[in-house]
Amino acid sequence: MELIEVNTEKCIKCGICIDACPTRALVMGKNGPEAGQPQNCNMCGHCVALCPQAAIDNKNAPLVKQAALKEFPVLNAATAQQFLRSRRSIRCYQDTAVPRAELLKLVEIARFAPTASNRQGISYTIIEDKEILKKVTAVTVEWMESEILKKTISHWSFPIHIRAYREKGLDNILHNAPHLILATASNDLLKGRENTVFSLAYLELFATALGLGSCWAGLIEMCIFAKYEPLLELFNIPQGKVITGAVMVGYPKYRFKRLVDRNPLDVTWL
């Protein structure tokens, strides 16, 4: 198969596939769309997904792998608004492990998030071993203590979290979450961090629909991005890849009863 195949009996030469192609890989030929610059295809699948006649196929985004969409948008505005506002950062978790099947649903939906130039390339490591998670917290606290001593990277919250852990045995790092999900990308993946932010945002939103809670593991990310070896060694990330994000996941211990407000909207029109 060349880049695209067109069913000329179905194709009405509307040009939608060509107009929507972000890399201008397609052109209109005598008998319908053609791959003018096939090397430019970024596998986004727009040409196949938008065709009103299902007349085009693309080897990089096969028609057979695209699910029919009967209506769009699926959620009305009011429902979508309430759903988005309902997501909260969860820092109190039940002492219950999430089944692997549910965790896989999270990372499965994360892979559908938009990425720069459709590069995708985000992989995931799911940590469920309680002993490893305890070590993650302990090592992160050690890193914060070392940073305070060195006066290199510091944060106003470091002493608070250190005292909570050392004096009261409280975990303000992972908040006793039963799972930690790490996003990874290859060293040379352009926009790896930005792509991860989108992917984990998808994961966090979908977690709510599964009855799960999540929260960005900010202190752990700081430790990771500081390349603190004792922490990195716990994760056994494959060579050639780097950690680009971290989110804790589990069943929420409490249920929110109200939608929290935010700062007033600040917008400028030009």
Which tens digit of pLDDT belongs to each residue from 100-120? 999 999 999 999 999 999 999
Q: What pLDDT is attached to residue 153?
A: 73
Instruction: For residues 132-142, give the mean pLDDT.
Output: 98
79-250 fold? NADH Oxidase (3.40.109)
Report the pLDDT value the prediction gives residue 128, as an integer from 0 to 100: 97
Percent of the chain with pLDDT over 90: 92
Classify residue 82 as exposed, middle or buried by CB count within 10 Å of its CB (0-12, 13-18, 19+). exposed
Q: How far is CA 148 from CA 144, 151, 256, in A?
A: 6, 5, 36
Query: pLDDT category, 70, cuts 50, 70, 90?
Result: confident
Arithmetic mean of pLDDT over the chain: 95
> pLDDT-based confidence at 124, cuts 50/70/90?
very high
pLDDT in tens, 146-164: 999 988 777 889 999 999 9
pLDDT band at 58 (very low <50, low <70, confident <90, very high): very high
Q: How far is it, in rounded angstroms, from Cα 208 to Cα 88?
A: 9
Instruction: Give the CATH number of domain 4-65.
Output: 3.30.70.20
Of all residues in the chain, the percent with pLDDT exceeding 70 is 99
Smallest Cα–Cα separation from 5: which of 42, 45, 46, 56?
56
pTM of the model: 0.93
Confidence grade of residue 269 (pLDDT, cut at 50, 70, 90): very high
3-state SS, residue 212:
coil
| Residue ranges per structural domain of the chain | 4-65, 79-250
Decide: 155 and 99 in contact? Cβ < 8 Å: no
Averaged over 207-221, what is the pLDDT?
A: 97
Please give the sequence-ordered ranges of beta strands (E in DSSP) within the chain, or none if there are none.
Answer: 4-6, 26-29, 32-35, 56-58, 123-127, 179-186, 213-216, 241-250
pLDDT tens by residue, 27-40:
999 999 999 999 99
Q: Is residue 25 within 8 Å of 3, Cβ to Cβ?
A: yes
